[in-house]
A and B are shown apart, each in its own frame.
Chain A
Amino acid sequence: MKSKTFFRLTLTHAFIAILGFAMLYPVIWMIVSSFKPNNMIFSDTGIIPKALTIENYISGWKGYSGVSFAKFFLNSLLMCAAAIAANLFSCSTAAYAFGRLKFAGKGFWFAIMMTTLMLPAHVTLVPRYIMFNGFGWVGTYLPIIAPKFLATDAFFVFLLVQFIRSLPRDLDEAAIIDGCGLAGIFVRIIIPLAKPALVTTALFTFLWTWDDFFNQLLYLTSPATFTVSRALRTFIGDSGAVSNWGGAMAMSTLAMVPSFILFFSLQKYFVQGIATSGIKG
């Protein structure tokens, strides 16, 4: 009986491990291939390289039209930092109002906020572009960052509302007795207690901004402003042909590094974020 369960357990482990390995094989192959000489990437399907080189990293790092990947990474990081600051500010204030405060029209606005979650972005795309172009913002990061200061990522408002609603109210009352106003409660009680949800917000803001391509394609027009996502696209020519596969693989590998680091260091926030709000993906 005992050996039977042991056998079943081993089989389950083996099955899960093999399936997982098969799923990750393309990614592992990509990482390994980025260290292979350019002429071997095509012929070698294995993940044990026959020769190692950092040639691809050197040729890929050179970037596009005289701008190197150092600049692209810096651009991406700064853009993500601004996006995180914007979302933390605007989504937490909105979530505090929806999750904790009483005011006229609350139910109505909350229903509207939830509806915007399902609204396809394309329906506002053209007028927003015209508006931002009128402001002279096309070619800068403002069309990507500024909307986040106005809580346009309603997903995070919802995530934070869910979290704030679950916080005990006893502390609020104590704070009121101590002379705290609503703003004081927000700063001194809600923000510190909502830290896990705020970390989740910051984390997903980073990942989505880092990986977002559409807005960067639309608004970033000159190579000096390109982000990593936008720059990777330049490896694929308009006809779909790729001249420097080695460089493309090497820079794609580097582009995934920040996501990997965050994922493995902040794993519990991922599971929490996905399970409580059903974050898309």
Chain B
Amino acid sequence: MPRRVSKFLRANAVPYMFLLPWLLGFLVLTVYPMFSSLYLGFTDYDFTKPDSTSWVGFGNYISMFGQLFGVSEFSASSGKVLRVDPYYLKSLSVTFTYVFVSVPLKLIFALLVAMLMNQKLRLMSFYRAVYYIPTLLGGSVAIAVLWRKLFEKDGLINGILETVGFTDLPGWITNPNYSLGTLVLLTVWQFGSSMIIFLAGLKQIPDEYYEAASVDGANNFRKFFSITLPALTPVILFNLVMQMISAFQAFTQAYIIGGGKGGVLNSTLFYTLHLYLKGWTYHEMGYASAMAWVLLLIIGVITGIVFRSSDVWVTYGSGE
């Protein structure tokens, strides 16, 4: 063996030994499944009868978006007649509404609370813990079960509203106009992580900036928009991207609150819930794979747009 090759091997063998578990996981559990699901997305793969799988070309993708073009049935390249999914666009609109309402609300709330907490107060670490508890518990099935109870027609929320004089209140979960709202509320309630990240960001802003602004006669309102907000833009970008990515994939709460389905009139049919029902209840796993790839594209494009736009609104460094 040439000496250079053996030297190269000697320098790299041990590091790659340490990397091996991750590398293996990446190849076997990420790369291979990604290619495989891309392929399956062009087939009508049914988990219960894998032998009768046939290639349907873009059939699954036409099933998803056919409604936009007024198509209800079409024949795939295999000659098989496929039906357009009547609920796909609904799940898309439910998910977009959920993401674009809940994420901004959550970040605004997290920032307001973080500013409130960014003071030298006694008991501050206790308060911080209290505000983090909803995030600690919020993703669990237990809280989803509780949420159902809270917003039922005879639940706690209506009980409280009645004692302050409201009458004729709806069942928030069973009324399709409000059910998505209860899920948005549940998400906003879990603002703890974003709050802690904002707090860390707020502590980085030097006090001198505020002192100098005070000397110049700036009021609190002005200080917020001229100092705090610009200084926090990198943190806002980070929170925005992370929260959006996870909001697009929200599942548990919608599943539990909807009783394992998309809720009344599919008003809480989240994208991932629809994907799960298609793949595992109706065994249309080819279709579910195609849906997953569209989700990946949606998340990729929106994250890309946010990063592109950050050139305009994110300021790095101290601004000097």
Q: Give A contacts to B, CB under 8 Å.
A: 9, 12-13, 15-17, 19-20, 23-24, 26-27, 29-30, 41-45, 89-90, 93-94, 96-98, 101-104, 106, 109, 112-113, 116, 118-131, 133, 147, 149-152, 157, 181-183, 186, 207, 210-211, 213-214, 217-218, 228-230, 232-233, 235-242, 245, 248-249, 251-253, 255-256, 259-260, 263-264, 267, 270-271, 274-275, 278-281
* A233 to B258 Cα, complex, angstroms: 11
Judge whether B193 and A281 touch: CB under 8 Å.
yes
The interface residues of chain B, by DSSP majority, are classed as helix
* A218 to B281 Cα, complex, angstroms: 11
Judge whether B146 and A23 touch: CB under 8 Å.
no
Judge whether B142 and A253 touch: CB under 8 Å.
yes
Judge whether A181 and B14 touch: CB under 8 Å.
yes
Q: How many A-B Cβ pairs are below 8 Å? A: 278
Q: For residue B129, which residues in chain A have a CB less than 8 angstroms away from its CB?
A: 263-264, 267
Judge whether B279 and A113 touch: CB under 8 Å.
no
Judge whether A127 and B196 touch: CB under 8 Å.
no
Pairs A–B under 8 Å by Cβ, sample size 12: A16-B121, A27-B133, A27-B137, A124-B33, A182-B18, A233-B141, A241-B259, A242-B149, A263-B132, A279-B193, A280-B242, A280-B246
* A239 to B148 Cα, complex, angstroms: 13
* A230 to B140 Cα, complex, angstroms: 10
* A120 to B271 Cα, complex, angstroms: 12
Judge whether A218 and B280 touch: CB under 8 Å.
yes
Q: For residue A101, which residues in chain B have a CB less than 8 angstroms away from its CB?
A: 14-15, 18
Neighbour of A122 across the interface among B15, B116, B272, CB < 8 A: B272
Render B202-227 as a binary contact track against A, CB cut-off 8 A, 1 for contact: 00000000000000000000000000
B127 within 8 A of A: yes
Judge whether B163 and A26 touch: CB under 8 Å.
no
The 6 closest A-B pairs by CB, nearest first: A150-B25, A240-B259, A252-B142, A124-B33, A103-B15, A127-B33
Neighbour of B37 across the interface among A125, A149, A248, A249, CB < 8 A: A125
* A17 to B117 Cα, complex, angstroms: 11
Q: For residue B5, which residues in chain A have a CB less than 8 angstroms away from its CB?
A: none
B131 within 8 A of A: yes
A111 to chain B, nearest CB (A): 12
6 A-B pairs besides A19-B113, A236-B256 with CB distance below 8 A are A23-B130, A42-B154, A152-B25, A249-B145, A249-B149, A281-B246
Judge whether B26 and A112 touch: CB under 8 Å.
yes
Neighbour of A267 across the interface among B30, B125, B140, B296, CB < 8 A: B125
In the complex, which residue of chain B has the Cβ closest to the Cβ of A41? B149
Judge whether A23 and B29 touch: CB under 8 Å.
no
Neighbour of B299 across the interface among A120, A129, A260, CB < 8 A: A120
